[in-house]
Amino acid sequence: MRPKPLRWRALLGQIAVYAVLIAGSVVMAFPFYWMLSTSLKSPQEAQQAVPVWVPERLKPANWAAAARLGAQGGSRWWGGYRAGRSVVLRVYTGEKGPEPVVTIPTPPAAFSDPRADNTRVETAFKDGWWEVTLTNGGQESFRLLPVRMHIAKSYREFRPELQPDSVSSRGEDWELGWSNLAPGVLGYVFHNFREAWYTAPFGRYFFNSFFTALAQVLGGLVIAAMAAFALARIPFPGKEFVFSLIIATLMIPGEVLLIPNYILLARLEWLDTYYALIVPWLASVFGIFLLRQFYLSLPQDLFDAARIDGATYWAQLWRIALPLSVPGMITYGIFTFLGAYNALLWPLIVTNSPEMRTIQLGLQSFIGEAGSDYGGLMAASTLSILPIVLGYFLAQKQFIQGVARSGIK
Amino acid sequence: MKRSFALWLSLGIVGLAVAQPKAEDVIKEQCAKAEVVAELWHGFTGGAPKAALENLIVEFNRGKGGSACVRPVPQGSYRDLSTKLKAAFAANKVPAMAQAFENNIALYLEGDAVLPISSLGLDLKGLNPLFVNATKIKGQVYGVPFNKSVQIMYYNNDLLKKYGAKVPTSIDEFVATAKRLSEGEKTPVYFFVPDASTYAYWFFTRGGNYLQNGKLVLNSKVGVETLEFLVKGVKDGWAKPITQGFINANFGSGTFGFSTDTSAGYSFYKSAAKFDLGTAPLPGKTGKQPGYALVQGTNLIVFKQADAKERALATEFLKFVISPKAQAVFGVATGYVPVHLGSGADATVTRYVKENPWFGTILTQSRYARFEPAIAEWEQIRFDILGQAIKEAVLGQATPKAALDKAQKQVDDLLAGRTR
């Protein structure tokens, strides 16, 4: 029988290990939590230096009101402000004090604003609450109904049916702001996601990012596999020299090549095309080096045996080297894919039209010179990393299987 | 997970069905059959400025009836824009128009790439002469001022009321008020970003000038005193340096009382502030007139490579952009200063100022403003040399004198071509 103290010590050790692991994973997960929660915040919540842990939009108490107001303006799920509809907001005050003043803020830089111009606002006091009715008297329907309300500070307390997105002091009044008073449940919770989606053509951006990244991976694999095989397994004069030349290009920083590459592409008339996004990145020194090392680690006997059976170099590459280097190719694929998917400067330089731009450039739409729309930015970031996170889990499984399949430890 | 994502996506698409056409799409349609297309490369990444510019262009193109159009092309931030233009010069693929800072113009002129405005036959009468003169290089005006911001003073009206304090109009009053409020709140109330912009306001207002007899001087007596003043403010407990992010994302990190920040940030200040946000002209050297704000923002330039038709279209567009009405709409939307002095009398502005006094502050302040030197290397100097020196001094890593002396040495080396 073991002495008792030892078991205690083992247990304490385990606890310590778990505590460290948990602390580590919290640190790792925190930025993700922050991104997700900020993507659901109103601008005022997102801009607070003191963290808001649970955004208003995640509180179920607000969902019922969001659904009811949304149904009045359009639909229970996505809300709206359709022609002819009235949206009625109650503000519970208990007593009848000064009448609240309700306005519809005009969007920036509009030469005219049919939404504000055609809205009829009525306020009436019922038993214990103010009832604000906004009626869309025009022919046009709108996605959002932004509303601003001034209510006197002399009210001891007041509670609007739907929690406002911002509350700020304005002289003798409180100014309450709703970015959308008729949101519907989904329109309320996913407000930033929907607005982010409208800000830029993200569908096209997604396609471009995926297409260029996949093309780079596939094209790059073909080139890297052939080059690496030649450098690893085919004897020819000056092989070492060629290899060192290829490796030497790693020493040239990418920024130095930016302008020469740009000029080259301009002369080829390839600017603002998929060629410009894909072709310059097809030959990857990293890929060649990685696969060459992989091929070198394969036993020579395999290739000797194949040669005795009459296999050409092509057959040796296709039937022996490639199947045995799946993990290497996956590693290369992941790195290339991530590199291409996350690229910012190159796509920015070689493309002009929105049709050719990539997801990372889309994220720039939320960053300004004097402030940022953090909610929109985080919503778009969440959308942009979603496929990567999903892909990572899939690739991780592939990776482990790949190692097992190759039989190389 | 996949299924719920698909459901979410399909709900999303239903939600998207009730959409208004976006300015970007309208412009695309306007340009679809146009014979003449003039591209305008700009550095507005998003938000109100981009939307406002696109709306202006939609309005302009509408008047062309599909035969000609201006097409805006966003090229990332201002720094990305100038990088891209450098690459475009090398490849001979320059747009008809672009946004450019004064120092960018100086740089592009080294390659003789910019058309003088006089050659376009454009009348700049009525524009703020301060802005126009800033684009004058060797007697020629090369840019049309477009999106110009000035610094203004933002303040917390609730806090001033709590202490019965008046809005300060002179530096002495400002310091006294900031001290009193900071002592009461036991935390510094003047928020500032230790960079070349904040510094410029204090430097200009104390009578500083970067150029002395044609030489760029960073470590002048006024310069050192200005930096010492800021450093002392931090030591005395009334000034709080903000080193992470925008001031408008840092209100909660203490008690905000004042800042001297760009007018282009107004909408972000307003959305973040829970307190009663007030604006006023910057405190002056004396209470008699406001302090000097730093003018930031760009001009529109036309490149020499544009052919005759593009030039004509660009000229028409610039004429439209600087009209009082267009400037009024653009300014009100973005917080930029209307560059046309007549905009102040436009109904859009007068009506807006009545409800939004902050815009009146901007109009007043724009008459008291200064520029940084228009030399080709300024972008690098203001961020990497002067900005760095200010940060080091404020964070206590060097004395103001030592930091500025070092900066001066770096600038001398840079301008003499000894370093890059």
List the CATH number of the domain containing B397.
3.40.190.10
Q: Quote the CA–CA distance of B186 and B132 in Å, as a whole number.
A: 45
Q: Rg of chain B's alpha carbons, rounded to an integer? A: 23
Q: Quote the CA–CA distance of A300 and A309 in Å, as a whole number.
A: 14
Q: Quote the CA–CA distance of A261 and A130 in Å, as a whole number.
A: 65
Size of interface A-B (CB pairs under 8 A): 173
Q: Quote the CA–CA distance of B48 and B164 in Å, as a whole number.
A: 36
Cβ contacts of A197 on chain B, cutoff 8 Å: 12, 16
3-state helix/strand/coil string of chain A: CCCHHHHHHHHHHHHHHHHHHHHHHHHHHHHHHHHHHHHCCCHHHHCCCCCCCCCHHHCHHHHHHHHHHHHHHCECCCECECCCCEEEEEEECCCCCCCCEEECCCCCCCCCCHHHHCEEEEEEEECCEEEEEEEECCCCCECCCCEEEEEECCCCCCEECCCCCEEEEECCEEEEEECCCCCCHHHHHCHHHHHHHHHCCHHHHHHHHHHHHHHHHHHHHHHHHHHHHHHHHCCCCCHHHHHHHHHHHHHCCHHHHHHHHHHHHHHCCCCCCHHHHHHHHCCCHHHHHHHHHHHHHCCHHHHHHHHHCCCCHHHHHHHHHHHHCHHHHHHHHHHHHHHHHHCCHHHHHHCCCHHHCCHHHHHHHHECCCCECHHHHHHHHHHHHHHHHHHHHHHHHHHHHHHHHHCCC
Neighbours of B162 (CB within 10 A): 12
- Answer yes or no: do A109 and B264 touch at CB < 8 A: no
Please report which confidence band the pLDDT of residue A406 belongs to, taking 50, 70 and 90 as the band edges: very low
Cβ contacts of A265 on chain B, cutoff 8 Å: 91
Is B58 in the same domain as B185? no
pLDDT digits (tens, 9 = 90+) for B281-318: 999 999 899 999 999 999 999 999 999 999 999 999 99
Task: State residue A46's pLDDT score.
Answer: 84
Judge whether B264 is closer than 8 Å to chain A, CB to CB. Answer: yes
Interface of A with B in 194-213 (CB under 8 A): 194, 197-201
Domain coverage including residue B197: 151-294+377-415
Whether residue B232 is predicted with pLDDT greater than 70 in this model: the reply is: yes
Q: Quote the CA–CA distance of A161 and A131 in Å, as a whole number.
A: 10
Is B272 in the same domain as B339? no
Chain A nearest-CA distance from B342, in A, is: 18
3-state helix/strand/coil string of A125-163: EECCEEEEEEEECCCCCECCCCEEEEEECCCCCCEECCC
Q: Quote the CA–CA distance of B379 and B374 in Å, as a whole number.
A: 9
Backbone phi, then psi, for A124, in 5-degree steps?
Answer: -145, 145
Token pair in block for residue B252: 């909660």
Query: Nearest by CB to B15, which of A78, A372, A390?
Result: A78
Chain B nearest-CA distance from A232, in A, is: 39
Interface of A with B in 338-397 (CB under 8 A): 345, 348-349, 352-354, 361, 364-374, 386, 390
Query: Nearest by CB to A370, which of B50, B265, B276?
Result: B265
Interface of B with A in 17-46 (CB under 8 A): 18-20, 22, 24, 39, 45-46
Distance from the first to the final alpha carbon of chain B: 53
Interface of B with A in 57-76 (CB under 8 A): 59, 73, 75-76
Token pair in block for residue A128: 């214990």
Contact, B79 vs B266, CB < 8 A? Answer: no
- Answer yes or no: do A368 and B22 touch at CB < 8 A: no
Is B341 in the same domain as B381? no
Token pair in block for residue A30: 């925190």
Token pair in block for residue A341: 């998917």
Cβ contacts of B16 on chain A, cutoff 8 Å: 194, 197-198
Is B143 in the same domain as B155? no
Provide the edge-to-edge strand list for the sheet that holds A159-160.
A119-126, A129-136, A86-92, A159-160
- B132 or B1: whose pLDDT is higher? B132
Distance from the first to the final alpha carbon of chain A: 39
Cβ contacts of A110 on chain B, cutoff 8 Å: 55, 333
Closest CA to A119 of A90, A99, A159, A89: A89
Chain B nearest-CA distance from A113, in A, is: 13
Task: State residue A390's pLDDT score.
Answer: 85
Integer angstrom CA distances of residue A277 from A26, A114, A261, A280, A337: 37, 42, 11, 7, 13
pLDDT digits (tens, 9 = 90+) for A359-375: 988 888 888 777 788 88
Closest CA to A369 of B85, B359, B264: B264
Whether residue B19 is predicted with pLDDT greater than 70 in this model: the reply is: no
pLDDT digits (tens, 9 = 90+) for A88-112: 999 998 888 899 999 888 766 566 6
Task: State residue B159's pLDDT score.
Answer: 95
Please report which confidence band the pLDDT of residue B97 belongs to, taking 50, 70 and 90 as the band edges: very high
pTM of the model: 0.82
- Map residue B44 onto helix, strand or coil: coil
Is B93 in the same domain as B227? no
Query: Nearest by CB to A109, which of B248, B271, B329?
Result: B329
Is B115 in the same domain as B231? no
| Preferred mutation among B276, B321, B359 to probe A, highest tally of A CBs within 10 A | B276
- Answer yes or no: do B16 and A198 touch at CB < 8 A: yes
Is B84 in the same domain as B187? no
Task: State residue B7's pLDDT score.
Answer: 42
Task: State residue A197's pLDDT score.
Answer: 86
- Answer yes or no: do B157 and A168 touch at CB < 8 A: no
pLDDT digits (tens, 9 = 90+) for B37-91: 999 999 998 878 888 899 899 999 999 888 899 999 999 888 889 888 988 888 8
Question: How high does pLDDT run on average in chain B?
Answer: 89
What are the residue ranges spanned by the domains of chain A? 4-39, 60-186, 202-406
The share of chain A scoring above pLDDT 90, in percent, equals 34
Is B125 in the same domain as B232? no
Q: Quote the CA–CA distance of A49 and B243 in Å, as a whole number.
A: 13
Task: State residue A5's pLDDT score.
Answer: 64
Domains: count for chain B: 2
- Map residue B247 onto helix, strand or coil: helix
Q: Where are the alpha helices (DSSP H) in B36-128?
A: 47-62, 78-91, 102-110
- Answer yes or no: do A267 and B11 touch at CB < 8 A: no
Is B223 in the same domain as B334? no
- Residue B268 falls within a domain, yes or no? yes
Judge whether A263 is closer than 8 Å to chain B, CB to CB. Answer: yes
Contact, A57 vs A164, CB < 8 A? Answer: no
Query: What DSSP designation does B139 have?
Result: T
Chain A nearest-CA distance from B252, in A, is: 5
Residue of A nearest to B335 (CA): A108
Is B205 in the same domain as B227? yes
Cβ contacts of B277 on chain A, cutoff 8 Å: 168
Q: Where are the alpha helices (DSSP H) in B114-246?
A: 129-134, 157-162, 171-185, 196-205, 221-235
Is B166 in the same domain as B100? no
Cβ contacts of A48 on chain B, cutoff 8 Å: 251-252, 272
- Residue B385 falls within a domain, yes or no? yes
Residue of B nearest to A353 (CA): B73
Q: Quote the CA–CA distance of A284 and A290 in Å, as a whole number.
A: 10
pLDDT digits (tens, 9 = 90+) for B24-34: 888 988 998 89
- Answer yes or no: do A143 and B18 touch at CB < 8 A: yes
Q: Name the amino acid, one letter, at A367.
A: I
Closest CA to B84 of B75, B92, B74: B75
Interface of B with A in 318-337 (CB under 8 A): 329-330, 332-335
- Map residue B368 onto helix, strand or coil: coil
Judge whether A164 is closer than 8 Å to chain B, CB to CB. Answer: no
Q: Name the amino acid, one letter, at A404.
A: A
- Answer yes or no: do B24 and A348 touch at CB < 8 A: no
Judge whether B48 is closer than 8 Å to chain A, CB to CB. Answer: yes
Task: State residue A400's pLDDT score.
Answer: 63
Question: How many Å separate Cα B35 from the centre of its chain?
Answer: 34
Is B287 in the same domain as B324? no
Token pair in block for residue B38: 């003039």
- Answer yes or no: do B18 and A198 touch at CB < 8 A: no
Interface of A with B in 60-89 (CB under 8 A): 74, 77-78, 80, 82
Instruction: Find tokens 């103290």 and name the residue.
Output: A5
Query: What DSSP designation does B292 have?
Result: P
pLDDT digits (tens, 9 = 90+) for B146-188: 999 999 999 999 999 999 999 999 999 999 999 999 999 999 9
Backbone phi, then psi, for A95, in 5-degree steps?
Answer: -120, 165
Q: Quote the CA–CA distance of B360 and B349 in Å, as a whole number.
A: 9
Domain A202-406 has CATH 2.60.120.380: no
As beta bridge partners, residue B153 has: B260, B280
Contact, B25 vs B60, CB < 8 A? Answer: no
Within 13 Å and on the Cβ side, how many CA atoms surround B175?
Answer: 12
Q: Quote the CA–CA distance of A202 and B19 in Å, as a whole number.
A: 15
- Residue B13 falls within a domain, yes or no? no
Token pair in block for residue B99: 């946004």
